[in-house]
Amino acid sequence: MPNLDAGQQTWRRDTNHNRMIELQGKAMDPTAPGSVQIAYFGSSAFRITSPEGISVMVDPWRNHPSGKWDWYFADMPEVAVDIGVSTHAHFDHDALERLDAHVLLDRPIGRFGFGDVAISGIADKHATDSSTATYDFKAIHYRFTGVDISPPDNPRSWDNVLVTVETGGMRILHWGDNRHNAPEAVWDMIGDVDIVFLPADDSQHVMGNTMVDEIIARLQPKIVIPHHYFIVDVTQRQSTLLPPDQWLATQPVVRRLAAPEVAYTKEALPSSTEVHCFGEHVAFDAEAWRIAASD
């Protein structure tokens, strides 16, 4: 008997891409100014919605497929978006099957454009310097698997793609879990950035706080949005993640957002870097999601 649960499950859906057929003939420009919506779904998942209403979800999450190491109370709720993107092949970033999406870009390297959205992927490597982390994940990985995750000869899951979404006249960079000390050629390809999503939590799980600060100093973005941190309604304690509060306290200007979604325009961006944090706000009903998972 064939295994019908193997691979992508898009063929099971009753939705279609008629919306994309309607949109693809329209002249739209990613550089044209407009309001861009950013919604946070916890972990490293963000939905970016262009001025023309085209939605991009980057890094949807799930629990580890082994079932032995749950980070979340359940897999991320299913979300309908136009384009789904994953920065790298780790369970907390690669759950593209949780999206009812017209287009899926799994670790895209190069450039993709549709409507008033342009998506660019730059190939680099996952952070592996765990010297400041609460747990030395690099040493633990080697202890139990015998595999050295150090670049350049790391396994595929320790590759990372830096994803830039251009829309509304802004450039939004999702760092994924990339290393902080990327080669100069990578920095040159990144270029100017208006908004950056950076992993920051007080366990310093992906990278140390000083490493995060080095990236900010190098990029000089207008807005920094932290991700990959503990959220009491979403993330389980065995993830070892913590909130980003200690790191936030070291930042010159911090705005704690009051909702899970915020709108930005190029002309309204601050003149110097600010950190905007969603905190525990997520763009779905976390209580209903947990209850459904327990039934």
Please say whether the beta carbons of 227 and 243 come within 8 A: no
* pLDDT interval class at 269 (50, 70, 90): very high
Q: Say how far apart CA 236 and CA 88 lie, in whole Å.
A: 22
* pLDDT interval class at 259 (50, 70, 90): very high
Q: Say how far apart CA 221 and CA 208 lie, in whole Å.
A: 19
238 has pLDDT over 80? yes
16's tokens: 């279609």
Please say whether the beta carbons of 152 and 124 come within 8 A: no
Q: Say how far apart CA 116 and CA 94 lie, in whole Å.
A: 24
Average pLDDT over residues 211-238: 97
Identify the pLDDT of residue 68: 80
Q: Each residue of 60-79: b (16+ CB within 10 Å) or e? A: bbbbeeeeeebbbbebbbeb
Tell me the domain boundaries of the chain: 27-127+159-294
Q: Which amino acid is at 233?
A: D
1 has pLDDT over 60? no
Closest CA to 181 of 221, 134, 215, 224: 215
Q: What is the pLDDT of residues 49-82, one digit of tens each?
A: 999 999 999 999 999 988 888 999 999 999 999 9
Least confident of 1-5, 141-145, 162-166, 246-250: 1-5
The total number of residues shown for the chain amounts to: 295
Q: Which amino acid is at 74?
A: A
Its CATH architecture, for the domain 27-127+159-294, is 4-Layer Sandwich (3.60)
Q: Each residue of 103-134: b (16+ CB within 10 Å) or e? A: bbbebbeeeeebbbbbbbbbebbbbbebeebe
150 has pLDDT over 60? yes
* pLDDT interval class at 168 (50, 70, 90): very high
Identify the pLDDT of residue 130: 85
Closest CA to 243 of 202, 277, 204: 202
Average pLDDT over residues 191-200: 98
